[in-house]
């Protein structure tokens, strides 16, 4: 019995001593205004489920302040604010505000947010079906193109050729590499279009091209993981509504690359990430760690080797015949 009390006393002293060890102080209690341009109900849902980690207004429970729990809490808040901080809402242009809400909603639908480790101790932050429906219905009203409108699709090789980036730049060696040291790949224009995607929320569309290694992997169903050397180029375009109501590719927005090399890019989930924006092909990112933004976006499909693209059915023999006849 005395031995048990002694052990308890030692543990108690150790626990009390730990309380003097705290994480670096971060901003907790700065009031955050209600979100402008957002209905009150949507604002309430986001404030209740997101603000503790994604704003400068944090309501800490008593157990959030105890060491070592406070280190985990501080880490969640620091990382959460880096990804999205609603306290900076009014600094964003309205299109960026809309994009931010769609980004947050996709994180909710994918089950990434709120963190399960957070809602386990803060059950009031869980979003019920009604709250999700409220967010979904609101986002449908602010989408550039409504979800029930025609979905643009460009899959035929001849159609794809019509919407390749313009050729204002004639010397691609002058295009600067990205800050994580990836060079622009101009010959993606000659690759196979393997899929398309639609962003009705911001009125853009994507065409995804794959190099020969990627196309071969698709044909042979070797896509999880993708083989080293596989490269995707995803071009983004503004959607253009034609006179007859059909939707096609309009102004060029950007091109992004995913380059598979499990060893070289081990630190970035086995992929090299790069993006060039606009007709002048300006490299994206303020520093070499911009690729963490890409990884965060692709994290919901980590079990699919971080690739969102669902390839169109490809017959490798037909692809080779097409290339020979070009």
Instruction: Give the SS3 label for residue 149.
Output: coil
Q: What pLDDT, on a 0 to 100 scale, did the predictor assign at position 198? A: 77
CA distance 151 to 205: 9
Read off the DSSP letter of residue 182: -
Instruction: Give the SS3 label for residue 302.
Output: helix
For the chain, first and last CA: distance in Å? 87
What are the residue boundaries of the structural domains of the chain, listed by start?
17-142, 157-325
What's the burial of 325, exposed, middle or buried (CB within 10 Å: 0-12/13-18/19+)? Answer: exposed
What's phi and psi for 163, nearest 5 deg? -115, 20
Asked if 136 contacts 130 with a C-beta cutoff of 8 angstroms, the reply is no
- Least confident stretch, 9-18, 20-29, 86-95, 212-221: 9-18
pLDDT tens digits for range 144-178: 666 555 445 444 444 444 555 555 667 888 899 99
Instruction: Give the SS3 label for residue 78.
Output: helix
- Least confident stretch, 66-70, 111-115, 271-275: 66-70
CA distance 149 to 306: 29
Query: CA quadruple 147, 149, 154, 159: dihedral positive or negative?
Result: negative
Give mean pLDDT, residues 186-196.
91
**Would you tell me how many other CB atoms lie within 10 Å of the CB of residue 307?**
21
278: confidence class by pLDDT, cuts 50, 70, 90: very high
Asked if 155 contacts 273 with a C-beta cutoff of 8 angstroms, the reply is no
Q: What pLDDT, on a 0 to 100 scale, did the predictor assign at position 319? A: 40
46: confidence class by pLDDT, cuts 50, 70, 90: very high
**Would you tell me how many other CB atoms lie within 10 Å of the CB of residue 185?**
18
Sheet (strand 231-241) strand order:
192-199, 204-210, 231-241, 247-260, 271-277, 282-283
DSSP-derived pairing of the beta strands 204-210 and 231-241: antiparallel
Whether 273 has a pLDDT exceeding 90, the answer reads: yes
CA distance 93 to 202: 13
- Least confident stretch, 60-74, 112-126, 209-223, 285-299: 60-74
Read off the DSSP letter of residue 115: -
CA distance 67 to 49: 24
Tokens 């375009």 correspond to: 237
This prediction's pTM: 0.63
Is 157-325 a CATH 3.50.70.20 domain? yes
321: confidence class by pLDDT, cuts 50, 70, 90: very low
- Least confident stretch, 2-16, 245-259, 271-285: 2-16
Residues 6+ apart with CB under 8 A from 18: 67, 68
């Amino acid at each position: 019995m005395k031995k048990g009390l002694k052990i308890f006393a030692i543990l108690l002293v150790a626990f009390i001593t730990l309380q003097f060890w705290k994480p670096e102080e971060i901003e907790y209690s700065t009031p955050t205004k209600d979100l402008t341009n957002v209905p009150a109900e949507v604002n309430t849902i986001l404030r209740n489920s997101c603000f503790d980690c994604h704003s400068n207004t944090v309501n800490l429970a008593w157990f959030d302040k105890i060491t070592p729990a406070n280190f985990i809490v501080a880490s969640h808040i620091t990382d959460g604010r880096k990804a999205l901080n609603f306290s900076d809402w009014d600094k964003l242009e309205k299109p960026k505000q809309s994009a931010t809400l769609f980004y947050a909603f996709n994180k909710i639908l994918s089950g990434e947010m709120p963190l399960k480790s957070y809602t386990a101790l803060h059950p009031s932050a869980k979003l019920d079906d009604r709250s999700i429906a409220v967010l979904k219905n609101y986002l449908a009203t602010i989408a550039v193109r409504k979800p029930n409108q025609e979905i643009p699709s460009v899959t035929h090789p001849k159609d794809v050729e019509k919407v390749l980036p313009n050729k204002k730049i004639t010397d691609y060696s002058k295009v600067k590499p990205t800050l994580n040291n990836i060079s622009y790949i101009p010959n993606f224009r000659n690759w196979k279009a393997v899929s398309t995607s639609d962003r009705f929320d911001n009125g853009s569309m994507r065409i995804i091209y794959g190099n020969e290694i990627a196309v071969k992997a698709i044909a042979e169903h070797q896509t999880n993981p993708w083989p080293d050397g596989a490269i995707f180029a995803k071009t983004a375009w503004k959607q253009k509504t034609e006179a007859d109501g059909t939707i096609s590719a309009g102004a060029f927005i950007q091109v992004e690359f995913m380059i598979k090399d499990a060893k070289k890019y081990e630190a970035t989930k086995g992929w090299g990430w790069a993006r060039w924006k606009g007709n002048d092909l300006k490299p994206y990112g303020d520093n070499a760690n911009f690729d963490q933004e890409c990884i965060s976006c692709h994290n919901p499909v980590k079990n699919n080797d971080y690739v969102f693209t669902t390839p169109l059915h490809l017959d490798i023999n037909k692809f080779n015949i097409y290339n020979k006849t070009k």
